[in-house]
Amino acid sequence: MRLKKVLKALGMVLAVLILFVVGVVTWATLNVRGRAQKKFDFPPLNISEKIKTADKELGRKIVTVRISCTICHGGDLGGKTFINDPAVGTFSGANITPYGLGAKSDEDVARAIYYGVRADGTPLIFMPSNEYHNLALEDVAAVVAYLRTVTPVARPTLPLKIGLLGKVLGATGKMSVLIPAELISSNAQAVVKPTEENSVAFGKYLVESVCIGCHGRELKGGPIDGGDPSWPPAANLRLVADGLWKEADFINTIKTGKTPDGRTLRDPMRGIVENAKEMSDTELKAIWSYLTALKG
């Protein structure tokens, strides 16, 4: 008799738990679906003329050295699955060679990069435009001009599927990069490009279009928002710049992927270093100047 009662009570608890989980998952699914279907109304860029005369070599440098678009879009830019986790989801960068971009207009490609939206205004998923919004428009133009010149890669679109945990993280605001367009303010002033020289301003410009994505706005490091669960936390770059390292240590770390104390940097920093090691001394020195200017 006693046992029956206990079992009944346990059954009730289990039923409530299951209902709760189903409720949360349903709520998260609807929340993320609604946000992914929302249309964003960002102002036009009117960038087509700029793209015609843009510096393609600068575009190549931004895509393959400074920003590492290749981490998510593949070395040949033909698309790549960069997170494949049964719970979080399967995320793949699109094919951004002429084969994938096809008939999209220059303006639409630029809007995808700068605002993280498709031609119909709905947001791209997991495409970190909140960082690329920190690029000056002339650099966005250079990127689009370069993408038009790369070798077309005939690879179909790879899967993009938000897993259950991904939806719950997205819905509860624990994965802000899920819909980067939401992080962009449409009335923010466009960034003006500083001269490419060893200066704090140019260093800040370089850092804000890529490093902050993992090391955080404050560059204090920690777990990577939306990162693969297997990744180590990002390092605290302020600590490094606060007297622990010298400029030569920093440059050497980016050039070799090895820290002064002999650690080999792991993914995803290893992937960044593969590209960033091609940065010029001016670029690396400017980044160092900016890092050391951040005190505390």
Contact between 258 and ligand HEC by CB under 6 A: the answer reads no
Distances (CA, A) of 254 to 113, 221, 226, 257, 293: 26, 17, 24, 6, 19
Contact between 114 and ligand HEC by CB under 6 A: the answer reads no
Contact between 286 and ligand HEC by CB under 6 A: the answer reads no
Q: Is the dihedral of CA 284, 138, 121, 149 positive or negative?
A: negative
Q: Which C-beta is closer to ligand HEC: that of 1 or that of 103?
A: 103
Which residues fall within 8 angstroms of residue 137, CB to CB, at 6 or more apart?
45, 47, 50, 114, 190
Give the Cα separation of 119 and 61 in Å (integer). 26
Say how many residues touch ligand HEC, by CB under 6 A: 47
Give the Cα separation of 205 and 108 in Å (integer). 24
Scanning the structure block, which residue is given the tokens 């819905």?
171
- In the shown chain, the binding pattern of residues 40 to 79 toward ligand HEC, with x for contact by CB under 6 A and - for none, equals -----------------------x---x-x-xxx------
Least distance from C-beta 294 to ligand HEC, angstroms? Answer: 12
Contact between 113 and ligand HEC by CB under 6 A: the answer reads yes
For ligand HEC, the binding residue among 184, 235, 251, 286 (CB under 6 A) is 235
Scanning the structure block, which residue is given the tokens 């070395």?
75
CA-based nearest residue to 285, from 222, 218, 175, 200: 200
For ligand HEC, the binding residue among 11, 49, 266, 281 (CB under 6 A) is 266
Contact between 275 and ligand HEC by CB under 6 A: the answer reads no
Q: Which tokens belong to 83? A: 């997170």
For ligand HEC, the binding residue among 54, 96, 117, 169 (CB under 6 A) is 96
For ligand HEC, the binding residue among 74, 89, 170, 213 (CB under 6 A) is 213
Contact between 219 and ligand HEC by CB under 6 A: the answer reads no
User: How many other C-beta atoms are found inside a 10 Å radius of the C-beta of residue 22?
Assistant: 10
Using the rule CB under 6 A, give the single segment among 8-16, 37-45, 48-56, 235-243 that binds ligand HEC.
235-243
Q: Which C-beta is closer to ligand HEC: that of 13 or that of 221?
A: 221
Contact between 127 and ligand HEC by CB under 6 A: the answer reads yes
Least distance from C-beta 95 to ligand HEC, angstroms? Answer: 7
CA-based nearest residue to 227, from 216, 214, 217: 214
Give the Cα separation of 18 and 4 in Å (integer). 21
Give the Cα separation of 258 and 203 in Å (integer). 21
Per-residue b/e over 239-260, b at no fewer than 16 CB within 10 Å? ebbeeebeeeebbbbbeebebe
Q: Which tokens belong to 278? A: 């091609």
For ligand HEC, the binding residue among 51, 58, 109, 171 (CB under 6 A) is 109
Least distance from C-beta 186 to ligand HEC, angstroms? Answer: 19
- The residue ranges that bind ligand HEC (CB under 6 A) are 63, 67, 69, 71-73, 82, 91, 93-94, 96, 100-101, 109, 112-113, 118, 124-128, 132, 143, 160, 210-211, 213-215, 224, 231-232, 234-235, 237, 240, 250, 253, 259, 265-266, 268-269, 272, 276, 287
